[in-house]
Amino acid sequence: MQAIMLQVTMEAGKYLVEQFVVQGLVAAVALPMTVMSAANLIDTWWAVCLDRAEKAGKLLAHVLMSGAHGDRCDSLTMVSCIMSSSHVSNRAVHGMSRCVQTMV
What's the pTM?
0.49
For residue 16, give its domain range. 2-103
pLDDT of the residue at 71: 74
Instruction: Return per-residue pLDDT of the chain as tens, 104 residues.
Output: 788 888 888 888 888 777 787 788 777 777 778 777 777 776 777 788 778 878 888 887 888 778 777 777 766 666 655 566 677 777 787 877 776 666 55
Q: Report the number of distinct structural domains present in the chain.
A: 1
3-state SS class at 72: coil
- Per-residue pLDDT tens for 11-41? 888 887 777 877 887 777 777 787 777 777 7
Residue 32: exposure state from Cβ atoms within 10 A (0-12, 13-18, ≥19): exposed
